[in-house]
Amino acid sequence: MARILGIDPGLTRCGIGVIDVDARRRVSLVHVEVVRSSADAELGDRIRVIGEGIERALDAHAPDRVALERVFAQHNVSTVMATAQISGVVLYQAAKRRLPVALHTPSEVKAAVTGYGSADKPQVGVMVQRILGLAEQPRPADATDALALAICAAWKSPVAAAASEAAAERRGLLAARASGSETLTPAQRAWADAERRSRGR
């Protein structure tokens, strides 16, 4: 079992989502929250507030690794700057704890979770809810995005894949491949599992 903390960086709202992933890449919710800072506060104070929230989550949940949205160019320079500032805080806090950080673009996350790199936020929210077996979608969207980042890291990490494969072999779970189930992507398997649960099977 591995624990991943996903962070959707933002200066006003910073999404934090924590999941556990087992040897078969099945994921479960541990914690989700959104840390907020006031737009009227000084920049340093805002970064401090968000940074303290991130630090609390790292200490409280002791993840094995961190998933962070990769900063990329946008038309809104202020948004890029705010994201970069909080991303720096995350990288610093992770480095202090010797935690590996996986950087993922929004399109990577959407493709991993929904199977479609241009999916919209409602589609991502629906899939995060289904994959984690939640009664409702986490709100606001920053919380869902943080969980989606963590799920993406759980399913895309080469290290995680190798560890999962080895653990599955040890437990004799690779027999599922004989039935062809392993040809499905993690997102497709999650859809299938959710459908079976909804039918009470």
Which residue of the set 20, 108, 142, 145 is catalytic? 142
Print burial letters for 67-85: b (CB count within 10 Å at least 16), e (below 16).
bbbebeeeeeeeeeebbeb
Is residue 55 a known part of a binding site?
Answer: no
Q: Which residues of the chain have pLDDT under 50?
A: 158-175, 177, 201
**8-state DSSP, 174:** G
pLDDT at 122: 92
Q: Are strands 27-36 and 13-21 parallel, antiparallel or unpaired?
A: antiparallel
pLDDT at 159: 44
Chain-centroid distance of CA 3 in Å reads 11
How many angstroms separate the first and last alpha carbons of the chain?
25
Is residue 69 a known part of a binding site?
Answer: yes
CA–CA gap between residue 149 and residue 86 (Å, rounded): 16
User: CA angle, 196 as apex, 195 and 201 as ends, to 5°?
Assistant: 155
pLDDT at 102: 96
Give catalytic status of residue 59 as yes or no.
no
Print burial letters for 146-156: b (CB count within 10 Å at least 16), e (below 16).
bbbbbbbbbbb
Which residue of the set 20, 69, 108, 145 is catalytic? 69
pLDDT at 76: 75
pLDDT at 201: 47
CA–CA gap between residue 167 and residue 22 (Å, rounded): 9
Is residue 40 a known part of a binding site?
Answer: no
Q: Are strands 65-69 and 101-104 parallel, antiparallel or unpaired?
A: parallel
Q: How many CB atoms lie within 10 A of CB 58?
A: 21
Which residue of the set 8, 20, 108, 145 is catalytic? 8
Single out the residue of 33, 28, 95 nearest to residue 60, CA to CA: 33
Give catalytic status of residue 195 as yes or no.
no
pLDDT at 59: 98
Q: How many CB atoms lie within 10 A of CB 99?
A: 17
Give catalytic status of residue 69 as yes or no.
yes
pLDDT at 71: 81
Residue with tokens 């039918």: 199
Domain ranges, ordered by start, for the chain: 2-198
CA–CA gap between residue 92 and residue 32 (Å, rounded): 21
CA–CA gap between residue 72 and residue 94 (Å, rounded): 20
Q: Which numeric CATH code is attached to 2-198?
A: 3.30.420.10
Q: How many CB atoms lie within 10 A of CB 121?
A: 14
